[in-house]
Amino acid sequence: MNTPTTSATTAHETSRLLSVLGGRRGLVDGALPPVVFVAVNALAGVATGPAARVQPLWWALGAAAGTATVLIVLRLVRGETVTAALRGIAGLAVAAGVAAWTGQARDFFLPGIYVDTAYAVGFAGSVLVGRPLVGYLYVALFRRQRDWRTRPRLRRLFALATLGWSAVYGLRVAATSYLYRTDEPELLALAKLLLGWPLTALAVVLTIAALRRTLLAHA
């Protein structure tokens, strides 16, 4: 049975890990500019038609950049950290640059697909070489269980958790790659939103809960 102290520790660790990932606000802020990009691109295409002097893509890029800027200003006004928002701006700049270069709205999402692929491969690869990343991240964040590599059960758990995170990124890659190939930017934005914060939060909760259960069983 969980004690109040155990529950508080689990909640703290969950909150801490979510905070490192940017927190709910950070993850939602990261998904909002792409949604605005797709919406404006679609609406501008209908409003201006194919003969427009300014193509819908440029309206969409401007709207996405403006949305990201407003989000940063709001964080500054509230006295909140802007680190996650600045990372989002950097990613947005790369995505916008690719879309502007190719002239294709769907290419706005291409850098994100590559990044998710790198994470999926990186997490899985760390297990293959016997260095599951979740173990190292847990120690770095919470300064506990430094001897996890000498404890077979805990080492296996970290390996499974790492494979779980690889699967999370792999799911994103599978969904967004399919929608990219079928040229569905609207559904790409929806997938980015649904497979962003909700999926990440679920993965964090499951990871921390599994770790706490194992640690308590072998305390």
**Would the pLDDT of 48 be above 50?**
no
**Mean pLDDT across 25-48:** 75
Q: Which of 52-61, 94-103, 124-133, 188-197 has the lowest mean pLDDT?
A: 52-61
pLDDT band at 25 (very low <50, low <70, confident <90, very high): low
Using CA atoms, how far residue 174 sits from 98, 121, 123, in Å, is: 21, 13, 16
Cα distances (Å, whole numbers) of residue 156 to 38, 95, 147: 42, 37, 13
**For the whole model, what pTM was predicted?**
0.81
For residues 47-55, give the mean pLDDT.
Answer: 49
Write the pLDDT tens digit of every residue in 160-202: 999 999 999 999 999 999 999 999 888 988 888 888 878 888 8
Task: Annotate 127-163 with DSSP letters as a single string.
Answer: HHTT--HHHHHHHHHH---TTGGG-HHHHHHHHHHHH
- Domain of 165 in residue numbering reads as 4-217
Of 146 and 155, the one with more pLDDT:
155
When comparing pLDDT for 7 and 178, which is higher?
A: 178
Q: How many domains does the chain have?
A: 1
